[in-house]
Amino acid sequence: MTEVRKGLIAKRYATERRFRIYGATALALTALFIVFLLADIVIKGLPAFTEPRVKLDVTGAADKVDAAKPAAGDYEAIVREALRARFPTVSGRAERRKLNGLLSQGAADDLRRMVVADPALIGKTFPFAALLSDDADLFYKGRQTGVALTKGATSLQFAESGEAYVITGDVAGLSPGQIVLVNEGALRITGIANGAAQAEALARPVTLNPAAAGGWNIMTLAKPEADRRISDQEIIWLEELKSEGVVEKAFATRFFTSGDSREPELAGLRGALVGSLLTVLVALALSIPLGVAAAIYLEEFAAKNRLTDIIEVNINNLAAVPSIIFGLLGLAMFLSFFGLPRSAPLVGGLVLALLVLPTIIIAARAALKAVPPSIKEAALGVGASHQQAVFHHVLPLALPGILTGIILGLARAFGETAPLLMIGMVAFIVDIPKGFESAATVLPVQIFLWSDLPEIAFQSKTAAAIMVLLAVLFSLNAVAIYLRRRFERRW
Amino acid sequence: MDMMPQAVVTPPSPRIMAERQVRIEARDVNIFYGEKHAIKNLSIAIPDRAVSSFIGPSGCGKSTFLRAINRMNDTIPTCRMTGDITLDGNSIYDRDLDVVQLRAKIGMVFQKPNPFPKSIYENVAYGPRIHGISNSKTELDEIVEKSLKRAGLWEEVKDRLNHPGTGLSGGQQQRLCIASAIAVSPEVILMDEPCSALDPIATARIEELIDELKQNYCIVIVTHSMQQAARVSQLTAFFHLGILVEFGDTDEMFTAPQEKRTQDYITGRFG
Amino acid sequence: MLVWTVLLASVLAVGAFLAGQTRASALRVAGGPALHSLPTYHGLFLASGVITGAVVAGLAAILLFGTQSIAVPAAAAIGAAGAGAALYPRIASAFRARNLFERFVLAVLVLCSAVAVLTTIGIVFSVVFETIVFFRQVSPLEFLFSAQWSPTSTPASFGILPLLVGTLLITFIAILVAGPLGLLSAIYMAEYASGRMRSVLKPLLEMLAGIPTVVLGFFAALTVAPLIRGSGESIGLTVASESALAAGLVMGMMIVPLISSLSDDIINAVPQSLRDGSYAMGATKSETIKRVVLPAALPGIVSAFMLAISRAIGETMIVVMAAGLAANLSINPLAAVTTITVQIATLLVGDQEFDSPKTLSAFALGFVLFIFTLALNYIALRIVQKYREQYD
């Protein structure tokens, strides 16, 4: 072999390798995208599954709760009092309001539920875990600002000067905005002049004794106060609660048990989940019988003629019509022409039924076609009618395949958003839908709605809702893959 | 159509026809698959209680004609037929005739054994069930047992009637299909190359079975094997290019065929 | 009332089934003539007659009196009873109940198949009707040729051009991403990957195909868009926060599984004999793929791309969440553009008045979208069909 030819072959093999690498790269990029997407969503969403609560000792005082009507009690005041009891130094209306703001509105509702369930609590003092606000939640999850604590390297002297404080000693390491934690107090530096630092108290120290090196701390907050939704004062309170060990992190069951809310920490998916369930139920109840019947007719009974051709072309094209067009159909036909109720799972289900119908027909036809004709001939041979052969033998054998198609259609219906926007399933609905005609929203639309809200806390909620949606869809797909593997038959 | 050479139909020899009456008769049958003219001007009379075999090279139309006898060609949309076929003097293509009842009278066994993917018992019981032949479970059990015995399969499967029929060996599957066919007490049994997927031992069992069955049934069998035709059948029909070339006593056909084409085929010059 | 009617009809049908079955069973006496059909079929026949009677009478009552009237269940009951009384005497041993029942079943199957056609007709009617109303108020010329789209301002203007350009820009970006990725993935899966790799890769791509677009939209708007904006600004480019690039990129990833699975099927349909011929001449795998397989599969691949384009044009949620609302006539991928689907969605979310051009314009946009995608799908499916026939 000449050198030239050898070189040419080497070149050809190099091209071969390169081509192969291109293909592998394309797949790797796609896989990377999926991993990145899922990781991003899980990282964003996981925090939403927990919520911080502060353990308080509440007193179901008789002046606030009437034993005869426990539901009407002023539980907000009870919880607030219990929290204030932890901060006896807080005074003044503005400060107290701020302190109350750390609690979620949900805390009072939780307490009401607890007392209504057990009226014997009235007049007693008992422990209660009060839900904190979304801002507090975000702070504890590190989403508000970075917090750095450093030990004071030198000794620290400080004195009161009116309302404010003056820190003397080695103040070279301090800068305005930092907070000095000393003697159970918190002093925010407001300025430094002449080797002394001026500071205001966020929490008054219990004594004015000087602190030795290492006996006090400097807290540095990464984000300036003006850029965050939570003030230094609130951070000090939250840090104090945390250091006292009364803050607990609990699984947020309310994320699954309550409906939508304007308050991020109270918003839950139950309404959307029930709405999705009702909508998908309607869609399946219609599309399964229609789709399977149509598939049986087209695959087994239809004569090959123009009409059948038209139906066939029509179904294939319908499968590729953009889903938003089905929304237009729902709006113009079901709402405007037939006058069905807006935002109802009934109409959503109707639209989704038409949307997944082609998917189910195509899958069911493929499954029917895969059954070997010898089975049908065997049945015809012993004198079964055509329909008996199909319904007794072909259909049962095609069932796993049909079921796989139905599950894939179900998954599609469950994740569909756009057409439901058109028929008004985008309203803000707090109540859990009661029936097929009551206003409802569905899980994907809930995701869309939450993703649009300005509160950062909702971002996490959205990602968490996506996790729930994907969990449902992936399990559906897993079932479909299992069915396919389990019942796949080679004839 | 008039250009077509007329088939020479040898009337069955008096020896055979004297003992038996004609069961199936076809007159001027033409069958088309779309444009293809698969059977040309075929006329034939098939006697009861005997085995008639159809032989001929691939694509000669023998299977097509067999399927026409119990109207299995109805399932092929492009297939058309003219002429008439009668069973006991009644046209099977009569408008008023229920094809389902016809197929109960004319059973069929296929080339590849095709048991339902169900238990052995269910395979045999299916026909009687849909025709309402039995009224009770015990009656159905009897039919299943009797059919399996007749098909010579009972001893092998009586302890595992609940096992799937598809788990049997090829030969057993084919006998199971024969059992299913006789379970509905047909009068005619059509067999479309019933042994082509079987080994020689299984084939011998089926041939024995066919020999026993001819006591009670009119049997028509399509086969590729001339030896098989010679072994099992009393009458043989030779098909070529859609034409029934010759039909007569098997013994005569293989010793002294009247047509040159028959002779060429039998002696292996083509086919 | 409808629920009650359905319940009532069901009860009557069950009753008819039992009556028919009992009567037919009684006909079966020893030595008597054999029944043509099993007693079950006599029962089913009677029940199907009763249902037909109930449905016909019930529908007539709905047309006359509306769905809420008590006349609906009443009419259904009368229809059912009438049909039952008329058909009951026909049960006899020679009566072909099975054949008639099977004819009923066939009719039901035909009706079910017709629903798909009715859906298409429904779509065409609802979209075309409102579009005609729209064009009575707004000139089609303005709609097609005006370069300004501002349906909510006064005076409103309805020029589709910026929307078309925006849609095509995002679609172009998407195909630019999905085309190479999808095609190369398909080639790798069909020609290089081992059986075990395929069994991992296929579900992975199916997983991507199964991710709802609202999820991809969230990802595009909250992760990809800021990422692009950040990296663009770090090299001194002005990037809109809702850039066409972000929406297009994510939409491209959405389409990858579509292109790869269609192309995979098509490449697998190329007969092995063609490949063997090329290998026999000493060609390498990649040469065989490039010179033989791909040219043979070209029509199929073209149609896969057409289906992908149609899918991208019609995609809604990703662009609603990640693309802009303002109708800028721009082909800069870093600028914010809007699309047809975004406009339909935003115009129709909230209250609709069916007489304002604002609402109606959404239907006109829907009409354009429908025609566009239908044409693409139709041609693509035709090509695939022709291609399949070629190798069957």
A115 φ, ψ (degrees, to nearest 5): -70, -40
Give SS3 for C130.
helix
Q: Please report the pLDDT score of residue C176 as a whole number.
A: 94
The number of C-beta contacts closer than 8 angstroms across B and C is 13
Please report the pLDDT score of residue A183 as a whole number: 80
The answer to whether the CB atoms of B132 and C39 lie below 8 A apart is yes
Stretch(es) of chain C classified as CATH 1.10.3720.10: 149-391
Q: Which helix (H) or strand (E) holds B27?
A: strand B22-33
Give the H or E element holding residue C128: helix C97-137
Closest partner residue to C35 (CB to CB) among B98, B100, B132 is B132
The encoded tokens of residue B63 equal: 């299977």
Omega into B186 within 30° of 0, i.e. cis?
no
Q: How far is A379 from chain B (nearest CA, A)?
A: 8
pLDDT confidence bin for C58, thresholds 50/70/90: confident
Contacts of B183 in chain A (CB under 8 A): 382
Interface residue B95 vs chain C (CB under 8 A): no
Smallest Cβ–Cβ distance between C109 and the set A301, A474, A477 belongs to A301
Q: Which residues of B touch A (CB under 8 A)?
A: 70, 72, 75, 77, 99-105, 107-110, 112, 114-117, 126-127, 130-131, 177, 180-181, 183-184
Q: Number of H helices and number of E strands within chain A?
A: 17, 10
DSSP for B95-142, written as a single string = TT--HHHHHHHEEEE-SS----SSBHHHHHHHHHHHHT--SSHHHHHH
pLDDT digits (tens, 9 = 90+) for C291-344: 888 888 888 899 999 999 999 999 999 999 988 787 788 888 888 888 999 989
**Chain A residues close to B144, C-beta within 8 Å:** none
How confident is the model at residue C305, as a pLDDT? Answer: 93
CA-nearest of A279, A295, A240, A269 to A468 is: A269
Chains within contact range of chain C (3+ C-beta pairs < 8 Å)? A, B
B-contacting residues in A 266-325 (Cβ below 8 Å): 303-304
pLDDT at A34: 93
What integer pLDDT is reported at residue B2 of this predicted model?
40
Cβ A286 vs Cβ A349: under 8 Å: yes
Are the Cβ atoms of B101 and C36 closer than 8 angstroms?
yes
Contacts of C320 in chain A (CB under 8 A): 418, 448
- Structure tokens that stand for C23 in this block: 């009567």
Chain C residues touching B101 at Cβ < 8 A: 36
* A387 interfaces chain B, CB cutoff of 8 Å: no
B130–C contact, CB cutoff 8 A = yes
CA distance A446 to A453: 11
**pLDDT bucket at C6, cuts 50 / 70 / 90:** confident
Is residue A284 within 8 A of residue A410, CB to CB? The reply is yes
pLDDT at C186 over 80: yes
How would DSSP label each residue in C204-250? HHHHHHHS-HHHHHHHIIIIIHHHHHHHHHHTT----TT-HHHHHHH
The predicted pLDDT at position A159 comes to: 82
∠A237-A239-A243 over CA atoms, to 5°? Answer: 120
Q: Which of C119, C307, C345 sits opposite A418 (nearest CB)?
A: C345
Overall average pLDDT of the A46-57 stretch:
87
Q: Supply the pLDDT for residue A22.
A: 92
- A327: tokens are 């929304």
Interface check C99 vs B, CB under 8 A: yes
pLDDT of residue B270: 65
pLDDT in tens, A339-355: 788 888 999 999 999 99
- Look at residue B12 in the predicted model and tell me its pLDDT: 56
Q: What is the pLDDT of residue B5?
A: 47
Distance CA B209, CA B149 (A): 11
Among B98, B130, B135, whose Cβ lies nearest the Cβ of C99? B98
Interface partners of chain A (CB pairs < 8 Å, 3 or more) are B, C
Paired with B219 in beta bridges are B51, B189
C42 in contact with chain A, both atoms CB, cutoff 8 A: no
Mean pLDDT of B71-87: 86
The CATH architecture assigned to A270-487 reads Orthogonal Bundle (1.10)
Residue C355's φ and ψ, nearest 5 degrees, are -110, -5
Check: CB of residue A199 under 8 Å from CB of residue A190: yes
- Mean pLDDT check: name the lowest of A65-74, A420-429, C133-142: A65-74
User: Cβ of C133 under 8 Å from any chain A Cβ?
Assistant: no
Alpha helices (runs of H) in C235-356, residue ranges in sequence order = 244-269, 272-280, 285-288, 294-314, 317-322, 340-348
Q: Is C44 at the interface with chain B, CB within 8 A?
A: no
Instruction: State yes or no: pLDDT of B262 exceeds 80.
Output: yes
pLDDT (tens digit per residue) in A142-185: 777 888 888 877 778 888 877 788 888 777 777 888 888 888 78
Between B189-193, C157-161, C351-355, the lowest mean confidence (pLDDT) is in C351-355
Reading the block at residue B198, the tokens are 């079987």
Tokens of C31: 């030595």
Q: What top-level class would CATH report for the domain C149-391?
A: mainly alpha
The proportion of chain A whose per-residue pLDDT surpasses 70, expressed as a percent, equals: 99
| pLDDT score recorded for residue B16 | 64
Give how far B77 is from chain A: nearest CA, Å.
7
Interacting residues of C375 by C-beta distance below 8 A, sequence separation 6+: none
Residue C55 distance to chain A (closest CA, Å):
17
- The beta-carbon neighbor of A293 closest among C112, C201, C374 is C112
Mutate one of B95, B96, B98, B184 to test the C interface: name it (highest C CB count within 10 A): B98
Residue B220 CA: distances (Å) to CA of B3, B24, B69: 29, 10, 10
Confidence of residue C219 (pLDDT cuts 50, 70, 90): very high
Report the chain C residue with the minimal C-alpha distance to residue B99: C99
Question: Residue A3 burial (CB < 10 Å; 0-12/13-18/19+)?
Answer: exposed
- Please state the rounded mean pLDDT for residues C120-142: 88
Q: What is the predicted ipTM?
A: 0.88
A374 neighbourhood in chain B, CB within 8 Å: 110, 112, 114
Q: How far is B132 from chain C (nearest CA, A)?
A: 6
Contact B91, B175 (CB under 8 A): no
Is cis: bond before A289, omega within 30 of 0? no
Question: Does residue C29 surpass a pLDDT of 80?
Answer: no
Does A382 contact B101 at a Cβ distance shorter than 8 Å?
A: no
> In the CATH scheme, what architecture does the domain A147-257 have?
Beta Barrel (2.40)
Residue of A nearest to B174 (CA): A378
Q: B130: nearest CA in chain A? A: A384
- B66 or A68, higher pLDDT: B66
Question: Which residues does chain C have within 8 Å of residue A14's beta carbon, measured at their own beta carbons?
Answer: none
> How crowded is the C-beta side of A336, counted as CA atoms within 13 Å?
22
C-beta atoms of C113 and A298 within 8 A:
yes
Contacts of C99 in chain B (CB under 8 A): 98
Q: Is C313 on the interface with A (CB under 8 A)?
A: yes
Q: Contact at 8 Å (CB) between A205 and A187? A: yes
CB contact under 8 A, B130 and C99: no
Chain A residues whose beta carbon lies within 8 Å of the beta carbon of residue C127: 325, 328-329, 332
Spans of all domains in chain A: 3-47, 50-140, 147-257, 270-487
Q: Decide if B81 contacts B93 (C-beta within 8 A).
A: yes
B114 and A382 within 8 Å at the Cβ level: the answer is no
Best residue in A321, A346, A390, A450 for a mutation probing chain C (most C CBs within 10 Å): A321
Share of chain A above pLDDT 90, in %: 25
**B119-141 pLDDT tens trace:** 999 999 988 888 887 778 898 99
Contact B239, B247 (CB under 8 A): no
Residue ranges of the domains in chain B?
14-266
In chain B, the residue whose alpha carbon lies closest to the alpha carbon of A377 is: B72
Q: Do A383 and B127 count as a contact with CB atoms less than 8 A apart? A: yes
How far is the C-alpha of C390 from the C-alpha of C374, rounded, in Å? 24
Architecture of domain B14-266: 3-Layer(aba) Sandwich (3.40)
User: What does the mean pLDDT of chain B come to?
Assistant: 85
Mean pLDDT of A197-201: 82
Structure tokens, C296: 């043979």
Picking from B122, B119, B125, the residue whose alpha carbon sits closest to that of residue B160 is B119
Q: If pLDDT is split at 50, 70 and 90, which confidence band does C357 have?
A: confident
The type of residue at C297 is A
Average of pLDDT values for A99-109?
85
- Say whether pLDDT at A490 is over 90: no
Question: A130-134, C120-124, C149-153, C208-212: which range is least confident on average?
Answer: C149-153
d(CA B266, CA B53): 14
The answer to whether the Cβ–Cβ distance between B98 and C96 falls below 8 Å is yes
Which pLDDT does position B271 carry in this prediction? 53
- Please judge whether A34 and C204 are an interchain contact, meaning their C-beta atoms are less than 8 angstroms apart: yes
Spatial CB neighbours of A161, under 8 Å, sequence gap ≥ 6: none
Q: What are phi and psi of A251, to 5 degrees?
A: -65, 130
Strand duo A196-203 + A164-169: pairing: antiparallel
SS3 call for A150: strand
pLDDT of residue C174: 95
pLDDT at B3: 43
Mean pLDDT of chain C: 86
Q: Supply the pLDDT for residue C31.
A: 64
**Which are the contacts of A479, defined by CB distance < 8 A and separation ≥ 6?**
A407
Burial C234-268 (b: 16+ CB within 10 A, else e): eeeeebbebbbbbbbbbbbbbbbbbbbbbbbbbbe
d(CA B83, CA B42): 9
Residue B76 sits at the chain C interface (C-beta within 8 Å): no
If you average pLDDT over residues B151-179, what whole number do you get? 89
Give A313's contacts in chain C (Cβ within 8 Å).
Answer: 378, 381
CA distance A264 to A98: 18
pLDDT band at B1; cut points 50, 70, 90: very low
Instruction: Report residue B98's pLDDT band, with 50, 70 and 90 as the boundaries.
Output: confident
